Amino acid sequence: MFDKLKNMIKSEENTKTSSTKLSSGKKLKIGYIHLSGCTGDLMSFTENYDELADLLDAVDIVYGQTLVDCWEMPEMDIVLIEGSVCLEDEHSVKELKEARDKSKLLVALGSCACTGGFTVYSKGGQRAQPQHSSFLALQRLVKVDMAIPGCPPSPQIIKKVILAAVNSDMDYLAPFMKFTENQDACGCDLQKRIINQSICIGCGACAAACPTRAMTMKDGRPSFNCDRCVKCGLCYYQCTRSWWPIDQIKKEMGLE
């Protein structure tokens, strides 16, 4: 997986350096697929348009419901998928499987795609599709190469991920490959994977990251209100003690 991505991103880098020569014609083919999500991830992505305009020039968006007039899914280098997959919606399942077959790198963008997000609460019975009742993180059905959590992921992280990809910075992207191992998320992760492991230091990062105030701090420890949790996983991923990217931090601070 690592090598595959590395090779592909290398080719992207080559594309970038030669992008002034349009005749080379080897632009990276990107697709964007929208499954069961709220479009928040796409909106967060678009907040970067000003800064990424040049970059977007260097890639070809070849597939995407609102972006490209294309009905037949083409072969893609990278496909970004927003939203969870609904088992009762045969088109979603088919599109996801097809995207896996036709893409070199499949990226779950946003918590609904990474962990199911708030769609895991669905039990069906809602209009206009009462039979739609089972929603899953993408990696339950297909192999996902990178998971970028967030509800939505901040514009800042999306920009950093894109720049890392362009600069072949595999070290920066490595955690997102690791995140694909988590098929679900919950505020309980803080209790089970941090407090119960005796590593909580009561810093409050989890509470800051929570988009719904399900996580607050009480007596120097996270206090979790499950009723408010949207299962995005941000409290765990943003926790100071869940994983420790010291090399990236040093790099960004110019301390290497």
Partner 1 sequence: MGGKEIMIHDSALGPHQEILTARATDKKILGKAQDGGIVTALLVYALEKNIIDGTIVAGDGKEAWKPEPIVATTKKEILKSSGTKYTMCPNLAMVKEATRRYGLEKMGIVGTPCQIMGVRKMQAYPMGLRHVTDKIALIAGIYCMENFPYDSLKAFIQDKANTTPEKVVKMDISKGKLFIRTSDDETAIPIKQTHGYEQSGCRYCMDYVAELSDVSCGSVGAKPGWSTVIKRTDVGCSLVDSAVEDGVLEVTETNTGKFGLEMLRKLATNKKKQRVKNVDKALDLGLEVPFTRSDLKEDILENR
Q: Which residues bind partner 1 (CB under 8 A)?
A: 44, 148-157, 160, 175, 193, 197-205, 207-211, 216-217, 219-220, 232, 234-235, 237-238, 240-249, 252-255
d(CA 91, CA 159): 30
User: Least distance to partner 1 from the beta carbon of 88, Å?
Assistant: 30
The two structure tokens encoding residue 111: 């918590």
What phi and psi values does residue 175 have, to the nearest 5 degrees?
-60, -35
Q: Nearer Cβ to partner 1, position 36 or 242?
A: 242
User: Least distance to partner 1 from the beta carbon of 254, Å?
Assistant: 8
Q: Nearer Cβ to partner 1, position 22 or 246?
A: 246
Bridge partners of 124, per DSSP, are none
Which residue type is seen at 218? Answer: K
User: Least distance to partner 1 from the beta carbon of 1, Å?
Assistant: 20
The two structure tokens encoding residue 11: 């080719």
Sequence-separated (6 or more) residues with CB below 8 Å from residue 57: 19
Q: Nearer Cβ to partner 1, position 25 or 254?
A: 254
User: Least distance to partner 1 from the beta carbon of 146, Å?
Assistant: 13
Q: Nearer Cβ to partner 1, position 83 or 155?
A: 155
User: Least distance to partner 1 from the beta carbon of 24, Å?
Assistant: 34
Q: Nearer Cβ to partner 1, position 32 or 237?
A: 237
Sequence-separated (6 or more) residues with CB below 8 Å from residue 82: 32, 33, 34, 35, 37, 39, 41, 42, 109, 110, 112, 113
User: Least distance to partner 1 from the beta carbon of 206, Å?
Assistant: 8
Q: Nearer Cβ to partner 1, position 27 or 222?
A: 222
